[in-house]
Each structure stands twice: as C-alpha cells, then as structure tokens.
Structure 1
Amino acid sequence: MPELQQSIKRQRKYLLYLLAIFVLGWGFTSTPTIYAGLILGTALSLYNHWIISKRITRLGKAVDEGRKIPSLGTILRMGSAALAAMIALQYPDQFNLISTVFGLMTAYAVIMIDFGIQHFIKRTNGKER
C-alpha cells in the first residue's frame, strides 16, 4: 500500500504542475479560452483523481478486513464530468469545450504515463523479472 500512496502523491503533484502551466498559458497567450477549458477540465480531473484515490484506499482496507467492497464513486466522477461540460457549454466565450474534455482526461493520461515511467525505471534497475 505505501507504493500506491507514493504513486498517488506523485500523480497529484504532476496534475498540479500541469494546472500551473495551464494557468500561465491562460494568462500569457492569445488563446485564453483554450487554456480556461484546460484549467476547468484539469481541476475537475484532479477532483476525480482525489475521489478515486480515496475510494481505492477504502477498497484496500475493506479487502484486508474481509468486509463488503464499497463503490468506487463512478456516479460522482461522471457527475463532475457532466458539470464541466455544462459549464463549458453555458459559457462558450469563456471555455473551449474540446479543451475542457481534454482537461478531463488529463488525470488518466498522467496515471498511464506515470505507470509507464515507473515500469521502465523498475525494469532498468532489475527490480522486475
């Protein structure tokens, strides 16, 4: 479990770095609506990442204790994605819908990239067979 917690912290840190880059892009480029959509989507993607990480921790504890496995919060995550889309559709002059959708996928991309990097590191260090 400590490795999972380290991975979650690392991914959360990467998402915050990306969010900071998007804020800089929003403030200093000529396409603020694209970056505003990325900010909106990534912020809600970070929220979704937080939800799933808490639920996975609960799932691990339930399995260890032999209890019934709780839900992973799919409805909450789908609801936040719908909220992002509704905001982007309501204010098209402020948020780009396509970049909002890309922002919503940011956490999943970060998770996959982080997994690939960590797998490569373990493989080159000889810790994996």
Structure 2
Amino acid sequence: MPELQAMFTRQRKWMFFLLSFYVLGWGFTAYQPIFLGLIFGTSLSFFNLWLMVRKTEQFGENVLKGKKVRSLGSFSRMATGALAVVVALRYPDQFHLISVVIGLMTSYIVIMIDFFIHSLKIHK
C-alpha cells in the first residue's frame, strides 16, 4: 500500500493548496458566501478522501488476512455530502449551495488530475 499513501500525500498537498486559495478568496473578496461554500465543501471532500484511503487500507488488510470484507464506506461519504447540502440549505446567507456542491466534488477532480499528471510522468 505504499503507492496508496504516496497518492494520498500528493492529493493532500493539492487539497491544502486549494483550501488556502479559498481562504484567501474568502478573506479578500466580496464573494464570501461562495468561498465559504467552497471551503466547507472542500473540507468535507478532504474528509471523504481521508476516509476512503483509510477504508481502502483496511479492506486490503482484511483481504490479506482472509477476514470478511466490509464495504468501503460509501454510505458514510454520501451522508457527509447530504450533511453539507442540509447545512448549506439551512444557512443560505452564509454558504452558497452550488459552491458547496463543487467543493464536495473537489477530491474527485484532484484524484483525476493527479492520475493524469502522474501517468504522464511515468511514461516519459
């Protein structure tokens, strides 16, 4: 699983970079609800990424030990997304709903970009 940890480390750096960019946007622009929605959604997306990596490691360990294999936590990730949408709908003056949804998708976008960049580096 060292490849999984290396991927997670690269993706974590990208997520922190995006979060820092969003915080600067929230602090220095007039679009505070949009950037706060991006911060909130991306933070929960980062949590979902961490949860997915942890569950994948546990899944691999259980397969190697011959134990019963449980799910990869899809329900937990969906519940986190539902929580984000409920909070955004409850506080529309603080969080822009579309920004929260875009923030929730950030980890998947980062995973795809990381894959393409890393695969281009390998094939050179």
Q: TM-score range by the shorter chain?
A: over 0.9
Deviant stretches of 4+, over 3 Å: none
- Unpaired segments ≥5 residues, structure 2: none
1:29 counterpart = 2:7: no
TM-score after normalising by structure 1? 0.93
Q: Which residue of 2 aligns with 1:15?
A: 15
AA at the equivalent of 1:18: L
**Alpha-carbon separation, structure 2, partners of 1:52 and 1:3:** 15
Q: Provide, for residues 38-78 of structure 1, a one-character-per-residue CA deviation record: whole Å limited to 9, x for no partner.
A: 00100000110011000000111112122221211111111
Q: How well do the aligned residues superpose, as a CA RMSD in angstroms?
A: 0.8
Q: How many residues align?
A: 124
Structure 2 Cα separation of the partners of residues 58 and 112 of structure 1:
23
Instruction: Judge conservation of contact 2:37–2:95 (CA < 8 Å) in 1.
Output: yes
Q: How many Å separate the matches in 1 of 2:17 and 2:33?
A: 19
In structure 2, distance between residues paired with 1:15 and 1:60? 25
C-alpha contact (below 8 Å) 1:58/1:70 kept by paired residues: no
Unaligned 5+ segments in structure 1 are 125-129
**Does structure 1 retain, via aligned residues, the 8 Å contact 2:4–2:53?**
no
Q: Percent identity?
A: 51
The separation in 2 between residues aligned to 1:98 and 1:2, in whole angstroms, is 35
Give the distance between the partners of 1:13 and 1:60, measured in 2 at CA: 24
Q: Which amino acid aligns with 1:86?
A: V
Q: Report what 2:44 is aligned to.
A: 44
Could you say what secondary structure the match of 2:95 adopts? coil
Question: Structure 2 length normalisation: TM-score?
Answer: 0.97
Distance 2:107 2:12 in 1: 8
